[in-house]
Structure 1
Amino acid sequence: MSRLFSTRDGDDGLPGPERRLAVIALVLGTLMAVVDTTMINIALPSMARDLGVSDARAVWITNLFQVVCAAMLLVFAAASELLSRRKVYVAGLTLFVVAALGSALSPNFETLLVFRALQGVGAAATLSIGPSLYRSIFPSRLLGSALGLSSLVVAGGYAAGPSIGGLVLSVANWPWLFALNVPLGAAAAVMAWRALPREERREGNFDAFGALASMAMLAGLFMCMDAVGHRAPLAEILAWLAVTVVSAVAFIRRQGRAPHPLLPLGLFREPRFSLAVSAQGTAFIGQGLTFVALSFLYQQQMGYSALHTAWLFTPWPLTIMVVGPLSGRLADRFNPSVVASVGLVMLLLGLVSLAALPQDASAIDSLWRTALCGAGFGLFQPPNNRELMTSVPKARSANASGVMSTTRTVGQSLGVALVGLCLAAGAGVQQALWVGAATTLLALVISLVRIPRAHRAYRAAREQKKAARAGYSERVGEDSPNRVADRA
């Protein structure tokens, strides 16, 4: 870990000692947004009872947060260029904290939904630009390791959410789940304001029409996938699909004509970026699908309790937490696409082994399979994120970060929807797992295709670093005391 805060001659980014406070602010902001979803889920039954609503309505306490967050990711990524990422991140954290306090004090269901929507807005501001801030904080030589730390935080947050929620509910009521965010978020906001890099603002206007079309497109897509996952009536699914398609067409047309587009479509003309985004999206479809399918497999077909099921899931995030930092370091030393492809091979083997899991299998037999999946995903994600972020100019880091967060959210949601579609079609849970293996195979094919192109970029970057170091050494040598004395 100390390696992340070391300083070398010629490093870009912040000086080593200044990175610590900035990283703590990013870690806290990410953890609160990630933990929120899984932590609140466990409290929904008690919240429904206390607020006097049905379980079906209580689900919207989580759904509304996710819909708003997904819809606003691209908007905040673009807004950060006009206002600076530091200001947007701090404003997002502040809004999240204030809304969390409002959620804790909400007297009724309707008021709680309003504050949950505001929390989604705040979370979108932090999640959309978090990865791009790592690129500004850390030097290029440590970017893979830094993104490995980011993956560890996300995985740890998802894993710890249910445990934190259960622990809090064992000693206090559900409002304390929201109140916990207040002191943590306030501290993170102060640290972020002090430590995050200051930037110059981009001149130009904000693409308001593009923002509205983007929000409608992503919200419609999320609602469509949610309707599929819950086997809603066909008319409802088609209505949300129509909203998504119409908004997507309007958004793409607008981005091609806007002087300052919300999402510059030119990013996707870079093959390394497009392939990294595609590999990430298909891999997250497989992960999102597998998480839901395994819940049904363990509880309905294998007869495990909810608590036992949660225990069977733990190897996945735990191995990500172990492998993620190592994967980041490998991505700094070797071709990131090769490292990511090896991870996808491991993930594919793990998913195939889970799809072939016998119904009378023991818990131990399941644990090594989920551990293999987690190790594969942990080996894939940091190198792929590094490839995605470094394939575009540094000035477009915020846009790339917004695309990364949006792709992750949409991929996971599409995976959940595919489970519902498989179940609605009469297929079993294990057939759904085979679908997840198929999407992971597609991600592997995409990752393999990009290796030659990524290798050329990787070699060029290494040669550039060598030339920069040689130039720096020469300049230092010219100004050394001995050289000065010789010239005298």
Structure 2
Amino acid sequence: MRAHSSREPASPASVTPASRSPAPHDNELGLPLPQRYWAILVVALGISISVLDSAIANVALPTIARYMHTSAANSIWVVNAYQLAVTISLLPLSSLGDRIGYRRVYQSGIVLFTFASLGCALADSLPTLALARVIQGFGAAGIMSVNTALVRMIYPPASLGRGVSINAMVVAVSSALGPTVAAGVLSIAPWQWLFAINVPIGIAAFSIGIRALPGNVRRDSPYDYVSAVMNAFVFGLLIFAVDGLGHGERPVYVALEVVAALVVGYFFVRRQLSQPAPLLPVDLLRNPLFALSIGTSVCSFTAQMLAFVSLPFLMQNALGLTQVQTGLLMTPWPLVIIVAAPIAGVLSDRMSAGLLGGIGLALLTCGLLLLAATLGTHPQPFDIAWRMALCGAGFGIFQSPNNRTILSSAPRSRSGGASGMLGTARLTGQTLGAALVALIFGVVPQHGPVVALYVAACFAAVAAIISSLRVTRSGAPASA
């Protein structure tokens, strides 16, 4: 393979909106100011709408089902179609970004996502809406797959933690506020506006990105289409198996899906081991620091999703709170992340991610245990709010340093692969967390929310242990 043999051609996209000065595409100086601010704005806009759309549709499902005159079970495909498309295409698109340039993949993702959002808003039947959601999912994957790789190009190594913290904060807050945003929109407008509001945001992000986003040195290696297809089968079958496990599918079908995924996965991994720049970055996973950081991310996002799905049931069914009260009392979690993530990002440029992650995840564990064990039957709003804030502080302290380590422990030329694994770890954890909640609610319906919070605390504690193992590992970033 001939690495670094061509460069993305100079274009208006490599200059700032103000000065039109060339961006340093192939070195580690990052972008000059104020282009850096414009570029990170584009990244924040793109990732916010793509992450929000994976959450807001849940709230609108009953309304969409009534409008489409379909059953609740069928309407689930509005969510599943999006989630499936994102998950099966994240790694292939991140690998494509390493080859043709992160900016091209990101901008193409924004265009596809924006047009598909318009298609969702105009859909008049469930099959049409589901198809638009599939296309929208592929667009979102284009955004998610390389967004952190772009952050690495935007910021110099000395301040990479700050850029990563902004990105992590946007992801965390978008995930947490999705239901609240959806409820707010639905209170004043039809469900179609949940998708229509993406259109002007997408147009703005693309327009600014043309002139602000950096390019990067590209590789002329051929793209591995066979691996992309195998990747889709592996992750697609696993998603169907996990979803079926959580929704009472017959065990024999779940077992067949798992076996098929394992068989295809075996040959998939064997193929990756023979590739110089594999689509599934097994070469990066050989780095203990990278592998431990990915494991920490999967466990922590599993804990987060277990909490986010079960807490509304605890507050409304067990504590007798209204939907509005529930939304307000869950808000401290994302609000504290807004404060904690930037601080942790700055600290991650100077301190061990293993130590910061261990501290943050220990706080998250304590917060989840306090929510599960000490609220009582008639808690005051402040009793719930400060526990939620403790969870948010812990998650915010962990996430930015962890993401920075995932990026900096990979060679610069493999930033796309690292970015794709980061997104895949997050989606894997969220999918597993949601499925576990459904499984727990089916096994112990009376105490499901509390049990789910205990399980979430266990995952957070495991994540803290994994994170602490990195304290003894070398944290020197790879640059080759």
Counterpart of 2:189 in structure 1 is 172
Residue 207 (structure 2) pairs with residue 190 (structure 1): yes
Q: Which amino acid counterpart does residue 416 of structure 2 have in structure 1?
A: A
Contact 2:353 2:470 in 1 (8 A): no
Which one of 328, 331, 335 corresponds to residue 318 of structure 1?
335
Q: Which amino acid counterpart does residue 38 of structure 1 have in structure 2?
A: A
Residue 403 (structure 2) pairs with residue 416 (structure 1): no
Residue 445 (structure 2) pairs with residue 432 (structure 1): no
Which one of 157, 160, 165 corresponds to residue 148 of structure 1?
165
SS of the aligned residue for 1:361 comes to coil
Contact 2:94 2:417 in 1 (8 A): yes
Contact 1:151 1:321 in 2 (8 A): no
Residue 368 (structure 2) pairs with residue 351 (structure 1): yes
Q: Residue deviations 1:204-259, cap 9 Å, x none?
A: 21111111111111122222222222222223322332332222112111111235
Q: Percent of pairs identical after alignment?
A: 39
Counterpart of 2:294 in structure 1 is 277
Q: How far did 1:171 drift?
A: 3.0
Contact 1:67 1:222 in 2 (8 A): yes
Counterpart of 1:480 in structure 2 is none
Residue 73 (structure 2) pairs with residue 53 (structure 1): no
Counterpart of 2:153 in structure 1 is 136
Q: TM-score, normalised by structure 2?
A: 0.90
Q: Residue deviations 1:424-444, cap 9 Å, x none?
A: 333732222222111111111
Counterpart of 1:82 in structure 2 is 99
Counterpart of 1:375 in structure 2 is 393
- Distance, in Å, in 2 between the alignment partners of 1:126 and 1:113 is 20
Contact 1:342 1:376 in 2 (8 A): yes
Q: TM-score, normalised by structure 1?
A: 0.88
SS of the aligned residue for 2:220 comes to coil
Counterpart of 2:269 in structure 1 is 252
Contact 2:40 2:163 in 1 (8 A): no
| Equivalent runs, 1:88-487 vs 2, <5 Å | 88-357=105-374, 358-426=376-444, 428-429=447-448, 430-454=450-474, 457=476
Q: How far did 1:81 drift?
A: 1.6
**1:388–1:373 Cα change, 3 Å:** same
Q: Which amino acid counterpart does residue 104 of structure 1 have in structure 2?
A: A
Contact 1:279 1:444 in 2 (8 A): yes
Q: Residue deviations 1:20-62, cap 9 Å, x none?
A: 2211111110111011122222222221111111122112111
**1:98–1:254 Cα change, 3 Å:** same
Q: Which amino acid counterpart does residue 322 of structure 2 have in structure 1?
A: S
For structure 1, which segment, 259-268 or 46-55, has the greater mean C-alpha deviation from structure 2 after superposition? 259-268
Q: How far did 1:450 drift?
A: 1.2
Q: How far did 1:353 drift?
A: 1.0
Q: Which amino acid counterpart does residue 195 of structure 1 have in structure 2?
A: A
Q: How far did 1:170 drift?
A: 2.9
Q: How far did 1:139 drift?
A: 0.8
- Distance, in Å, in 1 between the alignment partners of 2:296 and 2:314 is 26
Q: Which amino acid counterpart does residue 442 of structure 1 have in structure 2?
A: V
Note the aligned Cα RMSD (angstroms). Answer: 1.9
SS of the aligned residue for 1:42 comes to helix
Contact 2:164 2:345 in 1 (8 A): yes
Q: Residue deviations 1:325-362, cap 9 Å, x none?
A: 11101111222221121111111111111221323333
Q: Which amino acid counterpart does residue 180 of structure 1 have in structure 2?
A: I
Larger proportion of helix: 1
- Distance, in Å, in 1 between the alignment partners of 2:77 and 2:417 is 29
For structure 1, which segment, 267-276 or 116-125, has the greater mean C-alpha deviation from structure 2 after superposition? 267-276
Contact 2:177 2:334 in 1 (8 A): no
- Distance, in Å, in 1 between the alignment partners of 2:103 and 2:273 is 28
- Distance, in Å, in 1 between the alignment partners of 2:366 and 2:60 is 35
SS of the aligned residue for 2:223 comes to coil
Q: Residue deviations 1:443-473, cap 9 Å, x none?
A: 1111111102146x38x99xxxxxxxxxxxx
Contact 2:95 2:416 in 1 (8 A): yes
Q: How far did 1:136 drift?
A: 0.6
Q: How far did 1:186 drift?
A: 1.3
SS of the aligned residue for 2:218 comes to coil
- Distance, in Å, in 1 between the alignment partners of 2:86 and 2:28 is 35
For structure 1, which segment, 87-96 or 173-182, has the greater mean C-alpha deviation from structure 2 after superposition? 173-182
SS of the aligned residue for 2:320 comes to coil
| Equivalent runs, 1:67-78 vs 2, <5 Å | 67-78=84-95
Q: Which amino acid counterpart does residue 447 of structure 1 have in structure 2?
A: S
How many residues are aligned here?
450
Q: How far did 1:299 drift?
A: 2.1
- Distance, in Å, in 1 between the alignment partners of 2:248 and 2:325 is 27
**1:434–1:162 Cα change, 3 Å:** closer
Residue 38 (structure 2) pairs with residue 21 (structure 1): yes
Q: How far did 1:169 drift?
A: 2.4
Counterpart of 1:478 in structure 2 is none
Q: How far did 1:271 drift?
A: 0.9
Q: How far did 1:260 drift?
A: 4.5
Q: Which runs of 5+ in 2 are unaligned?
A: 1-26
- Distance, in Å, in 2 between the alignment partners of 1:176 and 1:289 is 28
Q: Which runs of 5+ in 1 are unaligned?
A: 1-9, 462-488
- Distance, in Å, in 2 between the alignment partners of 1:227 and 1:45 is 21
Larger-Rg structure: 1
For structure 1, which segment, 232-241 or 392-401, has the greater mean C-alpha deviation from structure 2 after superposition? 232-241
**1:93–1:170 Cα change, 3 Å:** same
